[in-house]
């Protein structure tokens, strides 16, 4: 018996909407990463982008558990001496709530060109409105 390998031309992509209101950041991110990779499909192939598009709304209302809201920081470095920037979670949530989900999902995807291609299918919006109504997205329920 031969192993089925999905071909990029025959992959059918759907659009899903996930409402992140009052959901834990890590738990919603794992579901999003799984959908972007295509692991929910029977024709999943690890080295082919078989995933679907994901629209995340209410990113500003995502939460963390325990003391992480006060302790978590996001770091980046400019590669110059003294170029370390640290931004606390609360500040990031106030200024750029979309980045919270993008960074969490990015860490769960492959670290190569395939992962970058998958991340392009993620659309994150801070509020309840999104501009992808024409694609007729289905609602994905997370419990």
Chain position carrying tokens 């579901």: 31
**pLDDT at residue 109, rounded to an integer:** 98
Q: How far is CA 80 from CA 59, 77, 99, 124, in A?
A: 32, 8, 23, 31
pLDDT in tens, 10-46: 999 999 999 999 999 999 999 999 999 999 999 999 9
Residue with tokens 């995807």: 109
pLDDT band of residue 1 (cuts 50, 70, 90) is confident
Locate tokens 């659309």: which residue?
Answer: 123
The pLDDT tens digits for 46-104 are 999 999 999 999 999 999 999 999 999 999 999 999 999 999 999 999 999 999 999 99
> Where are the domains positioned within the chain?
14-63+98-139
Residue 143 has pLDDT above 90, yes or no: no
Q: Cα separation of 134 and 120, whole Å? A: 18
Give the position of tokens 């994905």: 140
Domain spanning 14-63+98-139: CATH superfamily = Ribosomal protein L13 (3.90.1180.10)
Percentages of the chain per state (helix, strand, coil), in multiples of 5: 35, 20, 45
Entry pTM? 0.94
């Amino acid at each position: 018996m031969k192993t089925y390998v999905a071909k990029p031309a025959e992959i059918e992509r759907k659009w899903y909407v996930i409402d992140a209101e009052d959901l834990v950041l890590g738990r919603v991110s794992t579901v999003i990463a799984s959908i972007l990779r295509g692991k929910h499909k029977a024709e999943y192939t690890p080295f082919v982008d078989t995933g679907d598009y994901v629209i995340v709304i209410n990113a500003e209302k995502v939460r963390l558990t325990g003391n992480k809201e006060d302790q978590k920081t996001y770091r980046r470095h400019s590669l110059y001496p003294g170029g370390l920037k640290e931004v606390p979670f609360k500040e990031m949530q106030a200024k750029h709530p979309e980045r919270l989900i993008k960074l969490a999902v990015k860490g769960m995807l492959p670290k190569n060109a395939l992962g970058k291609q998958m991340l392009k299918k993620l659309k994150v919006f801070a509020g309840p409105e999104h501009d992808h109504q024409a694609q007729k997205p289905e609602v994905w329920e997370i419990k």
